[in-house]
Amino acid sequence: MKSQFDSKTGCCPEFDPIPWDDKIVEWKNKPFIKDKVFTLFYMPMNFSSVMKRFDRKVTATVVIVPDYLCLSDHTSKWNMDLYLAVDKEIPDAENTTISGKFYSKVYEGPFRDTEKWMKDYETLAKSKNFTFKKHYMWYTTCPKCAKKYGKNYVVVIGQIE
């Protein structure tokens, strides 16, 4: 994935929050590849190795990763499904699609603020009369890059019913 963008860090691209903050996006069969991360009470344990596995598959197939979008679905205290956006199917990967209308809101700060962000997100949703089928988290940069950029942006993306 490193070859797909020119970043200051040589790792994660700098994130622009404007196109994602307080927006509604609609996807129709948006292609993703899926993998799993082992979590220990919601804390990812092998996130880096899963991202490296994604990188090998993407690099070998020469696909584009639109917006460097990688959605996290915390399915339990022990598992998180990752969905990496791609522009086409990848052999030897779990290919899937996501469709629907989604409300996205950008937050910035340490990961320990996740509960606070989710409460704010739910309050915003109520004020807009939204109900959700599912929520995803988009951790836009790795911790090292967030430190280098001076911002740790996280996007909450909820599928609107």
Q: pLDDT of 75-134, one tens digit each?
A: 999 999 999 999 999 999 999 999 999 999 999 999 899 999 999 999 999 999 999 999
Q: What is the pLDDT of residue 6?
A: 53
Q: For the chain, what is the radius of gyration of the CA atoms?
A: 15
CB-based burial, 88-104: b 16+ in 10 Å, e otherwise = eebeebeeeebeeebbb
Beta strands in the chain (DSSP E): 23-40, 43-44, 70-74, 79-85, 94-108, 132-139, 153-160
Do 70 and 55 meet the contact criterion of CB atoms below 8 Å apart? no
Q: What is the CATH superfamily name and number for domain 20-160?
A: Regulatory factor, effector binding domain (3.20.80.10)
- The structure's pTM equals 0.91
